[in-house]
Every structure is written in C-alpha cells, then in structure tokens.
Structure 1
Amino acid sequence: MTRSMTAFARQEAEHEWGSLSWEIRSVNHRYLEPHLRLPENLKELEGFLREKLRKTLSRGKVECTLRFHPEAQVQQLVVNQDYAKEVIQAAESLQGMMKEHQPLDALELLRWPGVMQDVKLDMDLVKNSAKSLFDKALDDLLEGRGREGVELANLINQRLDSISEIVAEVREKMPQILQNQRDNLNQRLEELKAELDEARIEQEIALIAQKADVDEEMDRLDTHVQEVRRVLKQKGPIGRRLDFLMQELNREANTLSSKSIVASTTQCAVELKVLIEQMREQIQNIE
C-alpha cells in the first residue's frame, strides 16, 4: 500500500490524575528524522518512543509533542491516622503532668510533622498511559498517511495512463513519419540521381531511419510504466524505488526528444517530460 509521508494525528485522554495529549506531525524527508518534545518529568520515555517510531516508520520528518496537565486534586490532604493517634496520646499524657489543661487544637496537630501525608502522583502510571496513547496517535498517523498515499497513487496512475497513450500515439505515427522522411529525401535527390549512386542513397535513407527509430525507447517506456504500477502495489517503503524509475522514464523521454525528426514527436517528448516531472513531485511525498 502506498503511504504518504505527510499526515497529522492528535489523541487526548482524561484521567483522575490529569490529562495527556499527543500531537504527531510528519512531512517528507529523505530519511526518518524524529523530533520529540516531552515534559521534563516524562523525558525517560524518549528511548521507547524513538524505537517505536523506528519500527513503524521508514522515512519522514516526524514531530511528536506530549502535553501533560496533572490535576490539582492529586495533591489532596491525607491524614496518617495511626501516627496522629500516637501524637494525641502523647499530648494527653503530657497534659496530665500540666497544672492547666488546654484542649487539643486539631489544626496544631495537623501541622505536626508526619501527621499529614503527601499523596504523590504515580509517574509509572502516567508513563504507561502516555505510551498507550502514543500507540493510538501513531495508528491514526499511519491511517492518515495511508489515505493520502492512496490519493497519490491515483494521481500517479492517471499520469501513467497518459504516458501509455502518448507512447501508443508515437508508435502509431512512426511508420508514416519514416515513410514521409523517405519520400521527402527521395524527392530532394531526384534531380541528383544521375550523379549519386542508388545504393548510396538507400544507405543514407536507412541511416536516417535507424537514427529516427525509437522502438527501443517506446519499449522501455512501456516497461517502466508497468514497473511503476507494480511498485505502487507493493507493501513497505517504495519512495526511493519510484524516484529511481522517474529518472529512467525521464532518460527515455530525453532520448525520444533527441531522436525526434518531426514537430509532433518533439511535442510528445515534451508532454512526457511534463508528466514525469508531475509524478516526481508527488513521489517526493511517498514513504
């Protein structure tokens, strides 16, 4: 399946301890180039995320941004009941030694070190949630790249159809073009026949026909078109292979242009080069 390198994905999740959100953007690039933006307390995830990207994607500049907003309620007040009882018992025993008894102040007890417990956020839980959410965002990114890849493949196939039509047109025209060239040359040489050897004339006509023969180029163009169609159906990264095939198609189009002996074939060669360049531009976005 053809996949584009351009896509965007966003995933959010709400938990009792806070919220997480991932944004992943990818654009075309010659190699895989990940850029990670993580909160300081989640930097430990970087190695895992890079490995995940390496196993999932082959090419593209990929920007991954994680946002984490902890809930204020996470810092709730929790009393250490057992310790508080010990403090109260100690305070009551001290009161028995005192001449004046004063009631215990609950607020003062709360200020006593150790009575209040800090509830700390379980960062392992946050990290696991961030990993799971990243997997979902990455799946969305792949779906987006796949959808755009299908559109790119359709555009390329349309241009391949046009190339095949042009090749068929040139094939159809070439016998008549060569015959017209032969007739024109014969006409120009008619008055010089007495001075020129008939065999030499035929030799020159054959040489012109040989130089103008583009059957080989037409065959290679057809072969390359078939190969591009085959590659578009393959799984995995295909962008570099397609880029190479564009170079080969362009080479044949240039050869056709150089062998052109009439304006119509020159125009066909120009149209071929335009179509190939359009495909090449689209292929720059294919993984």
Structure 2
Amino acid sequence: ADCTVRIRPGTGSPLRPRLDAVLARQYLEAYRQLAQVVWKETGREEVPTLSMLASSEGVVAMESQGTDFDSLWTEVAQVLEGALEQADRMRRDEGGRLEKILRGQHARIAAAAGKLRAMAPEELKALSARTAERIAQLSASAEVDEQRLAQEIAILAERCDVTEELDRIFCHLEHWEKLFGSEQPVGRRMDFLMQELIREVNTLAAKSQSASMNGIAVELKAEIEKAREQIQNVM
C-alpha cells in the first residue's frame, strides 16, 4: 500500500517565502523567447516583468520555519500504525466471514456430488435395462444377435458412465478444502478449482441419461457459480 503525507502549517506557525532561483531563471528565459515570437509575429514588443515571474508556479513558495520533522514523523507513524492495525482487523474479520460462507458452500457442493455418486451405479443399470428392453421390443419379430446386443449395451453404458467425472469432482473438492488452512494467497487457486468443477459437472450432465441426476447437476453447478462469485473477493 502507498501512503502520501502532506504537511500544512497551522495558523500559529510562522511562514517564510522561499525563492527557487533556478526555476525563476528558466521561466525568465522562456518568457524572453515567447516575447521574441510575439514581436516577430505582431511587431509588438513585450518585456517579462517581475510580477510575471513571481506569479509563476513554484518560483516563490511559502514554507514553515523550523519544522521538527522527527517529532512530526513520530505522530504520523502512530496514526499510520493505528490505521494499519484497524485495516488488518477488518481484513481478518471479513476473511473469517468469507471462509465460513465458502465452507458452507463446499459442504453443499460435496453433499450434492455425494448424491450423484450414490445414484450413478443404479441409474446406469436402469439405463442398460431400459435399452435392452427397447431393443428386444423392436426386434421381437426378427432374430437378435445376443452377443452383439450385449456389446452395444456395454458401449452405451461406458459412454454414459460418469464415474471418472465424479472422481475428479471429489479430487477438486479435497484440494479446495486443504486451501482453507493455507497461509498463502489462495484466491486464484480456488478460482481455478471452481472452473474445473464447472467443467466436470458440464461433462457429467452431457453424459448422463438420468433426469434426476441432471437436475442435481444443475443445482450443483449453480452452487459452484455462487462460490466462485465469493472467491472473487479474495483475488
């Protein structure tokens, strides 16, 4: 953090003018050059005056006499220290509240993911059974290659299997939980994990053929988005 301190003398402090002679000479030379330009362009002769120089910024400044900068800095340092301590307390309080919110969101996301993990095997079995039944109905009047039928059902089940996505979701949740105890900045890492979680949930929803699981996936993604919004406050 940067801090700028400006010193203004009090009403009882004696002031004295301070002349910057170097700057005054630079202004004088500039005015002379300007006078030459005016004379060449208009034929009118102009001469730099004392009032012009005195009113030029920085040529004459008022300063306080005998300012004790050591004692002044002691007072400034005390004020700054108090302000920094207050800012640190506010940050810690805000961080504590934010951590509580994020832990609650972590728990809700983990609970929703747990429901999906519990449902996935049975939903996959039900999908395989429904597929086999539909194929059997369609081929009732024709001879069916049982081996080929089993292969097709297995391929479909593999395409709809969301086990890997769920494993990665729980892996990301585990990493996220570990970040709560970190002493290092974690905002960007948490934000990255939220992006990965959203990506896995999107893939899971695209693969799943279960309306129930897709409904939970929608709720899960919404909760992750809320967590990501909170995480922006620590980046």
- TM-score, with structure 1 as normaliser: 0.59
Q: What is the total number of aligned residue pairs between the two structures?
A: 185
Partner of 1:136: 82
Asked if 2 retains the 8 angstrom alpha-carbon contact of 1:159 and 1:275, the reply is yes
Specify every segment of 5 or more residues in structure 2 that has no aligned partner in the other structure, as ranges.
15-63
Asked if 2 retains the 8 angstrom alpha-carbon contact of 1:228 and 1:242, the reply is yes
Specify every segment of 5 or more residues in structure 1 that has no aligned partner in the other structure, as ranges.
1-33, 42-67, 76-117
Deviations 1:78-112, CA, capped at 9 Å, x for gaps: xxxxxxxxxxxxxxxxxxxxxxxxxxxxxxxxxxx
CA distance in 1, matches of 2:13, 2:143: 107
Partner of 2:69: 123
Measure how far apart 1:35 and its partner are.
Answer: 5.9
Q: Work out whether 1:149 is the aligned partner of 2:95.
A: yes
Q: Work out whether 1:196 is the aligned partner of 2:164.
A: no
Measure how far apart 1:207 and its partner are.
Answer: 1.0
Equivalences for 1:6-21 in 2 at 5 Å? Answer: none
Correspondence for 1:211 among 134, 156, 159 = 159
Which amino acid is 1:235 matched to? E
Measure how far apart 1:123 and its partner are.
Answer: 2.5
Partner of 2:200: 252
Measure how far apart 1:205 and its partner are.
Answer: 0.9
CA distance in 1, matches of 2:227, 2:178: 15
Asked if 1 retains the 8 angstrom alpha-carbon contact of 2:116 and 2:216, the reply is yes
Please provide the CA RMSD for this pair: 2.2
Bigger fraction of residues in helix: 2
CA distance in 2, matches of 1:254, 1:195: 39
Correspondence for 1:241 among 165, 189, 204 = 189
Partner of 2:132: 186
Asked if 2 retains the 8 angstrom alpha-carbon contact of 1:211 and 1:259, the reply is yes
Which amino acid is 2:214 matched to? T
CA distance in 2, matches of 1:198, 1:161: 45
Correspondence for 2:212 among 264, 274, 281 = 264
Stretches of 4+ moved more than 2 A in 1?
A: 34-38, 70-75, 118-121, 193-196
CA distance in 2, matches of 1:180, 1:283: 39
Which amino acid is 1:254 matched to? N
CA distance in 2, matches of 1:135, 1:178: 62
CA distance in 2, matches of 1:240, 1:183: 44
Instruction: Indicate the structure whose relative CO is greater, using CA pairs within 8 Å and at least 6 residues apart.
Output: 1
CA distance in 2, matches of 1:233, 1:256: 30
SS in 2 for 1:228: helix
Measure how far apart 1:124 and its partner are.
Answer: 2.8
Bigger fraction of residues in strand: 1
Correspondence for 2:117 among 159, 165, 171 = 171
Deviations 1:109-159, CA, capped at 9 Å, x for gaps: xxxxxxxxx963313321232123212211211111111111111111111
